[in-house]
Amino acid sequence: MPDTRVDLLGIELSNPVIPASGTFGYGREFAELYDLDILGSFSFKGTTLQPRLGNPLPRIAEAPSGMLNAVGLQNPGVDRVISEELPELAKIFHKPVMANVSGFSIGEYAETCARLDACAQVGWLEVNISCPNVHNGGMSFGTDPAQAAAVTRAVKSVTTKPVIMKLSPNVTDIAAIARACADAGADGLSLINTLMGMRIDPRRRAPIIANTTGGLSGPAIFPVALRMVWQVYEAVDIPIIGMGGVQCAEDVIEMMLAGATAVQVGAANLVNPLACPQIIAALPGVMEQYGIDNLKDITGGAHHG
């Protein structure tokens, strides 16, 4: 039987499949459909220091081979996540969970991460640096190597658990951002977040999404995500979680061959809530098809011929 186990920064996962933040909430809705413990882990809803109502409606638009979203990080705030969501999560998921953190200043990132670092259920901190820096003209932290490094250092200074920096693809050179985070002490990287896009309603002659633009996800972005994982693997020596348009077990294999240690599944969960268990079930057969005995052995395999 092929071995689907992988090691992510010192924590063994039964398989590399991790539902992505923003597509899985805190797990409760999916727990009604299947046993969440079959997952490698999952990244819970992006959490900020203070509660957020998110962007005005409409927030979602369909796109060819994908979707656009501008939800705006709607969440109850870190204190309620710790006091209410995590105790409920403990009843339905019995493995370490990935805490996804967003912020609008370096201080917010550090404070939110410090509070979640103290939670026993949290195995890793996934720090989303696609947020606008309110103290720097609104430019995303993840588009500037110096700012990305500053967030990384601030979070690492107040935490003990592995810190995984989640990178934006909306940059000229993602390898430069990756190196800046790695040099600042990041333990791992996850990529890619959504690509910026928009749709226009011809009848109204106006953008469909109230926020005008949104993040494009789904199978349309898989080749871009794969290319960026490849580039980052060449640039740094820390583990990578690959994501962006992953739909099936074959996509997981491709992501790992490009350099990923584990793989997140995002928009597929919104189209098919059973996407992750179906991918996990298919993995051993796909491994046998390609002569793979142990998934740990294939990370970065396409770089070596």
Question: Is residue 212 packed enough to be buried (19+ CB in 10 Å), middle (13-18) or exposed (0-12)?
Answer: exposed
286: phi then psi, degrees, rounded to nearest 5: -65, -40
What is the model's pTM? 0.97
**pLDDT at residue 59 above 60?**
yes
The reply to whether 1 falls in a domain is: no
The reply to whether 189 falls in a domain is: yes
pLDDT score at 237: 98
Location of structure tokens 């957020």:
52
**pLDDT at residue 273 above 70?**
yes
Paired sense of beta strands 66-69 and 60-63, if any: antiparallel
* 99-151 residue pLDDT tens: 999 999 999 999 999 999 999 999 999 999 987 665 665 568 999 999 999 99
pLDDT score at 184: 98
Domain CATH code at residue 214 = 3.20.20.70
**CA proximity to 18, closest of 244, 275, 302, 265:** 265
Share of the chain above pLDDT 90, in %: 94
On average, the pLDDT of the chain sits at 96
Could you give the residue numbers annotated as active site?
131
Whether the Cβ atoms of residue 296 and residue 2 lie closer than 8 Å to each other: no
Distance CA 80, CA 47 (A): 10
Q: What is the mean pLDDT of residues 230-253?
A: 98
* 191-222 residue pLDDT tens: 999 999 999 999 999 999 999 999 999 999 99
pLDDT band at 226 (very low <50, low <70, confident <90, very high): very high
Sign of the CA dihedral with 135 first, then 244, 59, and 47 last: negative
What are the C-alpha distances in Å from 258 to residues 28, 72, 234, 241?
A: 32, 31, 10, 11
Location of structure tokens 């179906």:
278
* 162-189 residue pLDDT tens: 999 999 999 999 999 999 999 999 999 9
The reply to whether 53 falls in a domain is: yes
**pLDDT at residue 19 above 80?**
yes
pLDDT score at 130: 86
pLDDT score at 139: 65
Specify the number of domains making up the chain. Answer: 1
More confident of the two residues 135 and 190: 190
Q: What is the DSSP letter of 70?
A: -
Print the domain residue range for 196: 6-303
**pLDDT at residue 254 above 70?**
yes
The reply to whether 84 falls in a domain is: yes
Q: What is the CA radius of gyration of the chain?
A: 18
Q: What is the mean pLDDT of residues 89-99?
A: 98
What are the C-alpha distances in Å from 155 to residues 78, 117, 181, 257?
A: 15, 10, 11, 30
